[in-house]
Amino acid sequence: MDSMNRLLFFILTSIVIAGCSKPVGNDNLLWLPAEECEVEAQVIIDDTSDLQNDGFIIKGAPGDRVIIAKTGIGAMYGKYALQRMERTGKADCELDIREEPSYERRILNHWDNLDNTIERGYAGWSIWHWGEPVPVELIKQYARLNASIGINGSVLNNVNATPEMLSREKLERVAEIADIMRPYGVHVYLSVNFSSPAALGGLKDSDPLNPEVKKWWEEKVAEIYELIPDFGGFLVKANSEGLPGPQDYGRTHADGANMLAEALEPYDGIVMWRAFVYAPDSPDRANQAYEEFMPLDGKFHDNVIIQIKNGPVDFQPREPFSPLFGGMSKTAMMVEFQITMEYLGGSNHLVYLSTLFEECLDSDTYCAGEGSTVAAVTTGKIYPEPYKTSAIAGVANIGRDANWCGHEFAQSSWYCFGRLGWDVSLSSEEIAREWLAQTFTSEEKFVEPVLDMMMTSREAVVDYMMPLGLHHIFAGIHHYGPEPWYAPEGARSDWLPKYYHQAGPDGIGFDRTRKGSGNVDQYHEPLASMYNSTDTCPEELLLWFHHIPWTHEMSSGRTFWDEMCHRYDRGIQKAREYIKVWDAARPYVDAERWEAVRAKLEIQESDARWWRDACVQYFGEFSGLPVPADVEQPERPLEELKKIKLNMLHHN
């Protein structure tokens, strides 16, 4: 079997057949809180406390310690926090801690389908076991893991929702799942299909201003709350990628969201209305969400929250933050991250996503002057009036694979999402140290090199996939490997394969300056002017905002072409370094997990070379320049790489 066939075999077995591996629940494969949160502390529940959102206080020295909370769920969070500190060596001293979550609702979005497949999932089949007996112990363990890191909500089904999800049969099943998770403070939410009144209820249409449609939703919501009194609300993807929505009837996003919000309001339910609106004929996809939603600012009910992907396009390895976070000031907004690695090598690549999440949350929008970070905006600190509730969402990477996430280190991104949702001020390094100590060992000789591997992993992937602001040059169907030559079937006549990268003899990059699509002016100053100039635009985002000549001089002193080739090479070298780091870690890790991670790292290094081979040769056809002699040369011809097909994954 040649190297490319071996690569494809690994991909197929790890992504497609993952669901056939042994059951979830191997306790030594991830951080795992004790079943009863056993800690040495007195627990006091004081319903007169001023603690907010299930916060807690921990006071005292070992042997004389007290946990104070306003609610039982808050006390549970306090016990998990103390347990975590005990396991990471931070509890051997006098404590005086008060913690309240940064976001009131900290929610996993599961893209699970009713046939038990998971859209963009890389760890097997759905843990909800639709159509099978409810897996009580599995769901309980899932809820316990979430509670231990502060996650308090789960959207059970795909944003590409089917009307059937709201049938009585499925709602009764959802109620069973809610009953299992309730003791752990995890509330259920559902994605809904906007055409459900017509498709499921038999109405003539699903027009949000049709009184019969409003009544149908009111009755359906009442039915849900009869079964699930603490139901969280709806997540809606509408008028995007062909899904139905209010625009089908000449209505606005606000019309559709508010109709659902009115039905949910008596029960304290919310509507999370996605701002991912993507039409394939958009002149600049990065502009579309801002253009559609900004005119509606202030027109949404206060139990509507706009769910916005971290970047303006689509969960790319690196994007600037979405300008909507700095734009809307009269509407509640929540950030949506992707924990499952649709664009980051699936479950085959080691990528610790906390650094990506932190980069977005710490980005300054300047919407109310310096310090108006994405985190400050979405927690309601900048514009508190619209925020009846605050929320953060992460697209889950969880399935039935033996280690839950398809890769031992992919668990760290589930973990860090929960920890950042609870405390947005935590650093990625601090969270990684916690996870390593609880999942593997706190031995310094293991932690320090593996920590460095985690902290540099996202940047390494950016280097070997799409450095310097390149984006969306993945294979169009499965988003796994490189395909910068891809053109969607049936696309408009002027859509060239180079839509996103705009490569030509004159250079490369998408011109989003004031002379191009004007995207820079969706940002506040000083960002707009900074992004608009090649002199001040960060090099990491250069091709996102600019069309750059191949001979443009970079800060390194190299031409752009040479710099790009060096970035691809740097990513490959990092992938190789990770194999050496993991080899040295062997004495500290059990054989099963060490071997599993080692096999994945080999795939990652092979994939890094695949990306390099495809991209430098393809872009070299436009630049007309040779790969620099001081970097590793491509191994496989471009024509061979263009024949690779992996059309086995769902589209989203």
pLDDT at 569 over 60: yes
pLDDT of residue 13: 37
pLDDT of residue 52: 92
Tokens of 618: 């393809």
pLDDT of residue 647: 43
CA 282 to chain centre: 24
pLDDT of residue 204: 98
Residue % of the chain over a pLDDT of 70? 92
pLDDT at 289 over 50: yes
Which residue would you say has higher pLDDT here, 25 or 243? 243
Dist CA 144 CA 149 (whole Å): 9
pLDDT of residue 492: 58
pLDDT at 525 over 50: yes
Is 1 in contact with 9 (CB distance < 8 Å)? yes
Least confident of 49-58, 352-361, 390-399, 486-495: 486-495
Dist CA 386 CA 84 (whole Å): 35
Active-site annotation holds for 452: no
Is 69 in contact with 46 (CB distance < 8 Å)? yes
pLDDT of residue 19: 35
Is 304 in contact with 258 (CB distance < 8 Å)? yes
392 exposure class (CB count in 10 Å sphere: 0-12, 13-18, 19+):
buried
pLDDT at 8 over 70: no
pLDDT of residue 91: 93
Dist CA 184 CA 142 (whole Å): 10
What is the rounded (10 degree) CA torsion for 20, 575, 498, 505? -160
Which residue would you say has higher pLDDT here, 546 or 644? 546
Domain annotation for the chain: domains and CATH numbers: 3-99 (3.30.160), 105-430 (3.20.20.80), 440-510+547-652 (3.90.1330.10)
Active-site annotation holds for 359: no
Cis peptide before 295 (omega within 30 of 0): no
Confidence tier at 491 by pLDDT (50, 70, 90): low
pLDDT of residue 22: 41
Q: What is the mean pLDDT of residues 596-605?
A: 98
The amino acid that residue 546 corresponds to is H
* Catalytic-role residue among 164, 241, 430, 452: 241
pLDDT in tens, 119-140: 999 999 999 999 999 999 999 9
pLDDT at 360 over 70: yes
Q: What is the mean pLDDT of residues 511-527?
A: 98
Confidence tier at 498 by pLDDT (50, 70, 90): confident
Q: Count Cβ neighbours within 10 Å for each residue of 218-241 and write b for 16 or more, e otherwise.
A: bebbeebbebbeebbbbbbbbbbe
* Catalytic-role residue among 119, 255, 314, 408: 314
Q: Are strands 42-45 and 64-69 parallel, antiparallel or unpaired?
A: parallel
pLDDT of residue 25: 42
Active-site annotation holds for 511: no
Q: Where are the alpha helices (DSSP H) in 492-590?
A: 527-532, 542-545, 560-584
* Catalytic-role residue among 99, 319, 336, 342: 342
pLDDT in tens, 420-452: 999 999 999 999 999 999 999 999 999 999 999
Residue % of the chain over a pLDDT of 90? 89
Confidence tier at 7 by pLDDT (50, 70, 90): very low
pLDDT at 17 over 60: no
Confidence tier at 33 by pLDDT (50, 70, 90): confident
pLDDT in tens, 195-250: 999 999 999 999 999 999 999 999 999 999 999 999 999 999 999 999 999 999 99
pLDDT of residue 168: 98
What is the reported pTM?
0.94
Least confident of 14-18, 102-106, 119-123, 464-468: 14-18
Tokens of 124: 């097997």
Q: What is the DSSP letter of 15?
A: I
- Three-state SS at 235: strand
Q: Where are the alpha helices (DSSP H) in 149-293?
A: 168-181, 196-199, 211-227, 253-264, 285-293
Q: What is the DSSP letter of 618?
A: H
Is 515 in contact with 483 (CB distance < 8 Å)? no
